[in-house]
Amino acid sequence: MHDENENESVGAERRAAVGTDEGEVRTDLDLGAVLRVLDHPRRRYLVTTLVNGRSEAPLAELATEIAARERDKPVTDVTPRERASVHTSLHHSHVPRLVDLGIVTYDADDESVVSATNADRVRSVLHSAGVALTTESDESHTEDRPAPSDGE
Is 45 inside a domain boundary?
A: yes
Give the total residue count for the chain.
Answer: 152
**Predicted pLDDT of residue 142:** 38
Q: Per the structure, how many domains does the chain have?
A: 1
Is 23 inside a domain boundary?
A: yes
φ/ψ region of 111 (left if φ > 0, alpha if ψ in -120 to 50, else beta) reads left
**Predicted pLDDT of residue 23:** 46
* Cα dihedral 64/44/112/79 (nearest 10): 10
Helix (H) or strand (E) holding 125: helix 119-128
**Predicted pLDDT of residue 64:** 96
Is 16 inside a domain boundary?
A: yes
Q: CB 49: neighbour CB atoms within 10 A?
A: 22
**Predicted pLDDT of residue 19:** 47
Is 113 inside a domain boundary?
A: yes
Is 32 inside a domain boundary?
A: yes
Fill in the DSSP letter of residue 150. S
For the whole prediction, is pTM greater than 0.85?
no
Is 96 inside a domain boundary?
A: yes
Fill in the DSSP letter of residue 7. H
Tens of pLDDT along the chain (152 residues)?
444 444 444 444 444 443 444 445 556 678 888 889 989 999 988 988 887 767 899 999 999 999 999 999 999 999 999 999 999 999 999 999 999 999 999 998 999 999 998 988 888 888 787 776 554 434 433 344 444 444 44
- Amino acid letter, 150: D
Q: How many whole angstroms separate alpha carbon 2 and alpha carbon 7? A: 7
Count CA within 13 A, CB hemisphere, residue 115.
Answer: 18
**Predicted pLDDT of residue 135:** 45
Secondary structure of residue 141 in the 3-state scheme: coil
Beta strands 104-107 and 56-58: pairing type?
unpaired
Count CA within 13 A, CB hemisphere, residue 89.
Answer: 20
**Predicted pLDDT of residue 137:** 39
Q: Which residues of 59-69 are buried (b: 16+ CB within 10 A; e: fewer)?
A: bebbbbbbbbb
Boundaries of domain holding 64? 4-128
Is 59 inside a domain boundary?
A: yes
Is 95 inside a domain boundary?
A: yes
